[in-house]
Amino acid sequence: MTAQSPIKAFRRKLDLRNGRVDMSHGSGGRASADLVAQIFRDAFANEWLDQGNDQASLPLPAGQRLVMTTDGYVVSPLFFPGGDIGSLAVHGTINDIAMAGARPLYLSASFIVEEGFPLGDLDRIARSMGAASRAAGVPVVTGDTKVVERGKADGVFISTAGVGVVPEGIALSGDRARPGDAVILSGSIGDHGVAIMSSRENLEFETAVLSDSAALHGLVAAMVAAAGPSLRTMRDPTRGGLAATLNELAHQSGVGFRIDEEAVPVRAEVAAACELLGLDPLYVANEGKLVAVVAPEAAERILGVMRAHPLGRDAALIGTVVADERRFVQMTTSFGGGRIVDWLSGEQLPRIC
């Protein structure tokens, strides 16, 4: 170790207006340090990140179970109505933790940045991520940055991890749905997917639809407090939409679902956009909704608590769990007939999150 220089180290300010990420920003040298200090440390500022080590040293509440998740974000475009890749990464990771009935504590974020990416855009993404994390009360405590040559990535990819703790007596799992259970959806479906599609380069259309991207741990905490032991399982219907989530749960629990199409909330603008694009809202991604399977006797109470929360205002009872060894998700259509709601076949829309 050399003695600290009496002369203050010269720090060149990043040119956030016109500057671009170049290979030196990923080299581990001065440019890397400047990038981390001026963009990420600033945006995420918290006591653990400020420790400045290669790892964050964290206190853990005693006597609770730890949950951990990891997630990658490759959404295109990076900025979309109602959010951007930064806020989406925070919300998505928090939601994966929260679906266990857990309280999210800490996040990590790893950035893979393409050479030539505007520094201003990176700064905007980091600030949005920081704001989302502060609003949620879940800090980004450690991170990493890599730069790859032009053409080897598409702007920015973000990988996250999240940890949280589950209160005692709460044991949610996808294999716990039982015939007779009630199925609750926290609000309207398809908003995120339609918002992304409306801003895709080759598909631009005018719509007022914003992504529903939001952190759901507050809503979940209210549900857990009201009826924790009655919650069988929760899942956020992201890629593949409500249809994929219900099919996953049907398979995991070895049951069937009966859903009432009329009870599933879909915004008129979303329905119209789906109509135009030939999509079924049941398969369109969400980033701020959850599906809860709950004991039937607790359904009304849980629904009441959800509707009292801003992110669950439109919560609805959409169906029930039934015994079915074929594990079909069946739906009464608004038209009065019956149909299966199958797994999505193929890709409806790539890079939605």
Partner 1 sequence: MKYVDEYRDGALARSLSAAIAAEARPDRTYAFMEFCGGHTHAISRYGIEDLLPANVRMIHGPGCPVCVLPIGRIDDAIRLAMRPEVTLCTYGDLMRVPASRNGSLLKAKAAGADIRMVYSSLDAVRIAEANPDRQVVFFAIGFETTTPPTAIALKAAEAKGLANFTIFCNHVLTPVAMRAILETPAAAGEPPIAVEGFVGPAHVSTIIGTEPYRIFAQHYGKPVVIAGFEPLDVMQAILMLIRQVNEGRSEVENQYIRAVTTPGNLAAQRLTEDIFELRDAFEWRGLGIMPKSALKLRDAYASFDAEVRFAVETQPAADNPACECGAILRGWKKPADCRLFGTTCTPETPMGACMVSSEGACAAHWTYGRFRAHEKTSTAPVRRAS
Positive or negative: CA dihedral 122, 128, 134, 138 = negative
Supply the minimum distance, in Å, between the C-beta of residue 194 and partner 1.
13
Q: CA dist 303 to 93, 236, 287, 325, 330, Å? A: 24, 16, 20, 28, 22
Alpha helices in 85-240 (DSSP H): 85-98, 119-136, 191-198, 217-227
Based on CB atoms, which residue is closest to partner 1, 22 or 262?
262
Residue 204 touching partner 1 (CB under 8 A): no
Binds partner 1 (CB under 8 A): choice among 148, 221, 272, 295: 272
Q: Which of 259, 290, 293, 311 binds partner 1 (CB under 8 A)?
A: 259
Residue 153 to residue 155: CA distance in whole angstroms: 6
In the chain, the amino acid numbered 180 is: G
Using the minimum distance from each CB to partner 1, give the nearer residue, 18 or 202.
Answer: 202
178 binds partner 1 (CB under 8 A): no
Give residues 332-351 in contact with partner 1 (rule: CB under 8 A): 332-340, 342, 345-346
The span from the CA of 91 to the CA of 136, in Å, is: 8
Considering only the stretches 10-18, 86-94, 207-215, 330-338, report the one whose residues sit in contact with partner 1 under the rule CB under 8 A: 330-338
Region at 116 (left for phi over 0; alpha for psi -120 to 50; beta for the rest) = left
Residues 6+ apart with CB under 8 A from 7: none
Please select the residue that binds partner 1; options are 260, 301, 327, 351, rule is CB under 8 A: 260
How many angstroms separate the CA atoms of 93 and 291, rounded? 16
Question: Interface mask (CB under 8 A) for partner 1, residues 50-69, using x and -?
Answer: --------------------
Q: Which among 25-33, 159-167, 169-177, 260-268 is the span making contact with partner 1, rule CB under 8 A? A: 260-268
Round to whole Å and give the CA distance between 218 and 220: 5
Report the nearest approach of partner 1 to the CB of residue 106 (Å). 37
Question: Which of 34-42, 45-53, 214-222, 268-276 is the region at the interface with partner 1 (rule: CB under 8 A)?
Answer: 268-276
For the chain, the straight-line distance linking the first and the last C-alpha, in angstroms and rounded, comes to 44
Work out which of 58, 203, 225, 323 binds partner 1, going by CB under 8 A. Answer: 203
Single out the residue of 185, 335, 155 nearest to residue 249, CA to CA.
Answer: 185
Applying CB under 8 A, the span of 23-31, 35-43, 213-221, 258-266 interacting with partner 1 comes to 258-266
CA distance 130 to 155: 19
131 neighbors 51 (Cβ within 8 angstroms): no
User: Toward partner 1, which CB reaches closer, 31 or 279?
Assistant: 279
- The answer to whether residues 291 and 183 touch, using CB atoms and an 8 Å cutoff, is yes
Q: Report, in Å, the least distance between residue 183 CB and partner 1.
A: 8
For partner 1, give the closer residue by CB, 252 or 330.
Answer: 330
Site for partner 1 in 222-241 (CB under 8 A): none
Least distance to partner 1, CB of residue 299, Å: 9
Kind of pairing between the strands at 329-332 and 256-260: parallel
Residue 36 neighbours by CB distance under 10 Å: 18
CB of 25 to partner 1, least distance (A): 30
317 binds partner 1 (CB under 8 A): yes
Binding site for partner 1 (CB under 8 A): 183, 202-203, 258-260, 262-263, 268, 271-272, 275, 280, 317-320, 326, 328, 330-340, 342, 345-346
